[in-house]
Each structure stands twice: as C-alpha cells, then as structure tokens.
Amino acid sequence: MRKSICTLFCLALLVACSDGKDSAKLHTSQIFVFGTLVDITFWDVDEALRSQAVAEISRDFQRMHYEWHPWNPGPLLSLNQALARGEPAEAPDSLIPLIIQSRELSSQSGGLFNPAIGSLLQLWGFQSSERPQGPPPSAEMIAAWRRQAPAMTDLELDGRVLRSRNPAVQLDFGAYAKGYAVDVAIAHLQQLGIANAIVNAGGDLRAIGSKDGQPWRIGIQHPQGEQEKLYAWLAVTAGEAVFTSGNYRRYREDQGVRYSHILDPRTGMPVDGVSSVTVIHHNGAIADAVATALVVAGPEQWEATALAMGVDQAMLVDDRGVVYMSPKMQQRVHFQDAPAVLQISEAFAEDP
C-alpha cells in the first residue's frame, strides 16, 4: 500500500495513552504490513490465544496487502490494467466488498471520496513507497485528467465481472482499505472469543471491550507536524473506530511548497487549508472514508458532507489552528491546551 515507516497509511497518528500503571494483563503485539506497524493490544487474554490471533490476523493482512496493492504486481494492478484497456475483468473476492461499499460511500460524499482517481495519484507521484520529488504535474496535465473525470459511477459490477465506461478509472483504495482491514481484524478477534482489544493500524484504530473495565484512552497527535506532542485525548467505548486523515505526514515538496497527498477529485489538485480531520464511528471503513472526504470538503462543506455520510462525531482542524467540531465530538475530546478558536457546529442538532 501507499506507506512507509515515515509515511503512514492514512496519516492518522493516534496512539494508545498509558495510565502509568503496569499490568501483567496488558499485552501488545506488532505486525509490519501496509508499510506501517499494526499494534494489536490485548487485555486479559492468555498467551496461546494471543499468539493464534496475531498469526491469523497477520496472514489476513498480508493477503489484503497483496490483493489490494494499486501499483505492485497483483490482482488490483491487473484489474486496473484491464479497465485502462476498456476490457471487462474478473475481480477477486476480497475486492468486491470494497468496490461495492466504496461506491456507495463515494455517492454519499458527492464524489469527494473517490477511489477511482488512482491515475491522478500516479500523476502526482503518490503511488510510490517513496516521497515524490521534483516539480508537480503541469496545469495542462491536470486539465487533461479533469476532462476524463473518472468516478466510481463509471463502474459496472456484474457478479464478479467489473467493467468501466471510462478507461481513465484506476482504483486505489488507499483512503479506505485500512479501515476495512481493521474491521476484518476486529471481527476475527471476536470470532476467537477475545472481548477486550485494540487494533491500531499506523494510528487509525478500532477498539472492543475495555481495559480493566475502563474505556480505552486514545491520544491524538498534534495535527500541525509536532510529532511527539499530544494534542488531545478521548475515551473509546466498545466497538468504536477513531480515524484521522491529514496532510502533515505525507506530501510532495518542491521549492519550499508542500503539496498534500490528499487530492480533490473536482480540481485534480492537492487539498490545502486543512491540517487534519478526526472521525469516530462504529465502522472503521466508514470512518476512514469519511475522514478523507471531510478533508476535501474543508471548513465550508464538512458539516453537510459528514451528515450525508451518516457521521455525527467529527473534528476538523484548519491550517490556522481553528478547530471545528460537532457537538457530540466536543463531548468526547479533551485538549491538552485549549485551541485559540473553537467552533461548535449547529448543523448536528439532530442525529443524522
């Protein structure tokens, strides 16, 4: 996937906070996959069951990494090559749920979340394990891409056979697949009878159960590049996912200008003006997609987009440090230092 140790999967750097009490019941195992470290933290689970869970989840994640990778040789690359030739292709079983759900989420977002823009990511150099170098693509190249306007609505899925009316469609699930993978891992833990755990994939996570009867406490990294500084914390209840999307970790830089890896499908250009978005939802895949869509939506459209996608717990931080929050999110987040400007939305008066 589109990550390295320094450029994490979806740029959320949420870390489990320690209460300072050592306990023999708390154990964390690590898996390196998707180009990042995945932490699986268990509470009160015996060693044999932990080992089984880690081995099985590792196997699942490695398979997903291979089958979902947009530029390394594998099923998704082969599928994209067929779409570019205008040919129908059979999608592997593991990709079909991603295609179906992401198509629905893209529609809900008004196209702000758009996994069909792999060719745009490639144009900007973000389909690489290394940070892109040199000048950005020219205005003419961006305009040519915009005329093709690939979208998830260009796809037709008939059973396992996928077709596209637009040969410019290139699927890249980098803004969504990690959330889906975390959901799969949580379901696997529950099938094994594990009640209390967190799966934390490079900072994006979902929790089940609790730690010693108390909610898991999660720290949110500072969204403006202060990597070791805790920005805020919140308590996560059973089954909740916390996902963050932002531009402070993965970017392209040329002549002192930084270009975010999060691209606006409407303009073909990197998003600016937003440092990060954090979303809480009971489904990791949805939280992942919504976080990306809200970064693209920006301060002007984040409320309408969140509501359209069924989310009522969200926080957006712009590049000036202004914090925009839904009322339910305000009840959850505890800041280390109070933000200079905090705007609580009135659009979430009722549940979406």
C-alpha–C-alpha distance, residues 69 and 74, integer Å: 7
Burial 312-341, CB ≥16 within 10 A → b, else e: bbbbbbbeeeebbbbeebeebbeeeeeeee
276-300: pLDDT as tens digits: 999 999 999 999 999 999 999 999 9
Burial class (CB within 10 angstroms; exposed 0-12, middle 13-18, buried 19+) of 47: exposed
Percentage of the chain lying above the pLDDT 90 cut: 68
Smallest Cα–Cα separation from 336: which of 205, 207, 234, 215? 234
- Tokens found for residue 143: 């305009």
295-307: pLDDT as tens digits: 999 999 999 999 9
Looking at the structure, give the CATH architecture of the domain made up of residues 69-164: Orthogonal Bundle (1.10)
Question: Residue 331 in 3-state DSSP?
Answer: helix
Run of H or E residues at 251? strand 251-254
Report, as an integer, the average pLDDT of 62-66.
Answer: 92
- Is residue 238 within 8 Å of 209, Cβ to Cβ? yes
Q: Where are the domains of the chain?
A: 69-164
Q: Which residues contact 138 (CB under 8 A, 6 or more apart)?
A: none
Report, as an integer, the average pLDDT of 241-269.
Answer: 84
Q: For position 220, what pLDDT does the model report?
A: 83
- Is residue 26 within 8 Å of 41, Cβ to Cβ? yes
Return the amino acid letter for 302: W
74-113: pLDDT as tens digits: 999 999 999 999 999 999 898 999 999 999 999 999 999 9
Q: For position 350, what pLDDT does the model report?
A: 59
Residue 164 scores a pLDDT above 50:
yes
- Tokens found for residue 324: 């925009």
C-alpha distances in angstroms, 34 versus 1, 9, 94, 136?
A: 5, 7, 16, 26
Residue 337 scores a pLDDT above 60:
yes
Q: Which range has the worst mean pLDDT, 133-147, 183-197, 204-218, 226-240?
A: 226-240
Q: For position 308, what pLDDT does the model report?
A: 97
The residue that leads in pLDDT, 59 or 35, is 59
Burial class (CB within 10 angstroms; exposed 0-12, middle 13-18, buried 19+) of 349: exposed
Radius of gyration of the chain from its Cα atoms, rounded to whole angstroms: 20
Percentage of the chain lying above the pLDDT 70 cut: 89
Q: What is the pTM of this model?
A: 0.89
Question: Residue 60 in 3-state DSSP?
Answer: helix
Q: For position 241, what pLDDT does the model report?
A: 96
Report, as an integer, the average pLDDT of 12-29.
Answer: 59
Tell me how far apart the terminal alpha carbons of the chain are, to the nearest angstrom: 33
Run of H or E residues at 324? strand 323-325
> Is the dihedral angle over the CA atoms 298, 302, 306, 308 positive or is it negative?
negative
115-156: pLDDT as tens digits: 999 999 999 988 877 778 888 999 999 999 999 999 999 999
Q: Which range has the worst mean pLDDT, 38-47, 240-249, 260-269?
A: 240-249
- Is residue 325 within 8 Å of 315, Cβ to Cβ? yes
Smallest Cα–Cα separation from 190: which of 178, 199, 177? 199
Long-range contact set of residues 22-27: C-beta below 8 Å, sequence gap at least 24: 23/212, 25/212, 26/211
Residue 1 scores a pLDDT above 50:
no
pLDDT, averaged across the chain: 87
Return the amino acid letter for 299: P
C-alpha–C-alpha distance, residues 262 and 264, integer Å: 7
Confidence of residue 34 (pLDDT cuts 50, 70, 90): confident
Supply the DSSP string of 279-314, one letter for each residue. EEES-HHHHHHHHHHHHHHHHHHHHHHHHHTT---E
The tokens 């959330």 sit on which residue? Answer: 179
Return the amino acid letter for 169: V
The tokens 């930084």 sit on which residue? Answer: 258
